[in-house]
Amino acid sequence: QSALTQPASVSGSPGQSITISCTGTSSDVGGYNYVSWYQQHPGKAPKLMIYDVSKRPSGVSNRFSGSKSGNTASLTISGLQAEDEADYYCSSYTSSSTRVFGGGTKLTVL
């Protein structure tokens, strides 16, 4: 049950786009379309932003999008805004019926 691999930090200026990667194995990310992404602001509970690789829950801005290629999933945020500054986590269902998270990525809006 190794954690998925995410970059520790990414940054971008307002209006720019950034992409956060999430690398797993064929037993999790690569094997299922059950990758989800979460946004967490300090002291708050995580919030679902993307599910099933690329679907957005109701109420989530269309500036957030997700994709997957092989064992790597990606979250793209376009038109960066100050409020997007937060920690982001990916998660995947696994072949053992467990779930696994990535280590988290701190997004800084410059």
Cα–Cα distance for residue pair 89/70, rounded to 1 Å? 19
Q: Cα 89 to chain center, whole Å?
A: 5
CB of 14 to another protein, least distance (A): 26
CB of 43 to another protein, least distance (A): 10
Bridge partners (DSSP) of residue 106 are: 9, 87
Among residues 41, 43, 11, 34, which one has the least CA distance to residue 101?
Answer: 34
Nearer to another protein, 38 or 64 (CB): 38
Q: Does 100 bind another protein (CB under 8 A)?
A: yes
* Per-position b or e across 62-88, b if 16+ CB within 10 A of its CB: eebbbebeebbbbbebeebeeebbbbb
Give the footprint of another protein on residues 31-90 (CB under 8 A): 32, 34, 36, 38, 40, 45-48, 51-52, 57, 87, 89
CB of 67 to another protein, least distance (A): 16
| Contact set with another protein (CB under 8 A) | 1, 3, 32, 34, 36, 38, 40, 45-48, 51-52, 57, 87, 89, 91, 93, 96-104
